Amino acid sequence: MKRIAIVVHEEKPHAADAARVLVAACHRRDVEAVTMNGDILPSEVEAVIGVGGDGTVLRAGRLALSAGIPVAGINVGRVGYLAEFAVDEIEAFAEALAHGRLRVFPVMTVSVEGSGFTATGINDVVIEKVVSERIIEISVAINGRRFAEYRTDGMIIATPIGSTAYSLSAGGPVVDPEVEALVLTPIAPHSLLSRSIVVSPDAEITVTLEIDRPARVNVDGRETATVDPGESVVVSRGSQAARFMTLDTHPFPQAVRHQFGLAHA
């Protein structure tokens, strides 16, 4: 690669330091690295690198997805699920980047469509309550067939790579990002059905709001739309896969070990 864009976590001083190290490492290998100040990609970049944490990589991933180019992450803290590379691996990363030695693998995305809106996420789609003290009632259909009703704070529909984010904190399973599936996880359900459901990556999931109060639709943590009572949203596999770059130095099982503190157990 000859030209990359870098997205830096603006509130982490160590991220800015790591970005400068990355720019210098790329420069020594004749790779131009452009540090971004907004959300408009520079022209002719071949990849986007997030420097910070998983949230920064997610932002970089959205930009890369829109441009059809790959993404990778430098983590200034612990090794993350999305931000695979540590600061002390920047030189090795830049070397692999310059010589085309990084493996690029596809990661499925998730799409949501409702009345007047569509959106695509890398991590998840969340349908959740707007009023904090009042739950919502939703019905869920899978491939056009009635599945279940929930009285709940919300429903998370996550990709495998998103299974380690909000879905995990709500009690969902950890899924290898190279697996293809959709994970449905209710948030604090007032229901006998409280477990996550893992369905085919090609499933079409229809969520209908059944009670007289609105719900909010968030995609990758960003508010996207409001759903009114009686309205439905349809969630399915995104039409385009995200593309992540890796050296396989921190395979997914090892990343899980680090995140859960199992490495010293």
Find the helix packing angle between 13-27 and 90-98, rounded to 10°: 40
Give the rounded distance of the alpha carbon of 32 from its chain centre.
27
Q: How far apart are CA 139 and CA 120, in angstroms?
A: 22
Catalytic residue among 17, 54, 212, 228: 54
Count of other CB atoms within 10 angstroms of residue 187: 22
Question: Do residues 87 and 245 touch, judged by C-beta distance below 8 A?
Answer: no
Q: 90 — phi, psi (to 5°)?
A: -60, -45
Question: Do residues 122 and 242 touch, judged by C-beta distance below 8 A?
Answer: yes
Q: How far apart are CA 254 and CA 233, in angstroms?
A: 36
Question: Do residues 4 and 47 touch, judged by C-beta distance below 8 A?
Answer: yes
153 is an active site residue: no
Q: Which amino acid belongs to residue 207?
A: V
State both tokens at 156.
């998370």
Q: How far apart are CA 246 and CA 96, in angstroms?
A: 10
Provide the 8-state DSSP code for 248.
S
Q: Which amino acid belongs to residue 217?
A: V
SS3 54: helix
Q: Catalytic amino acids? A: 54
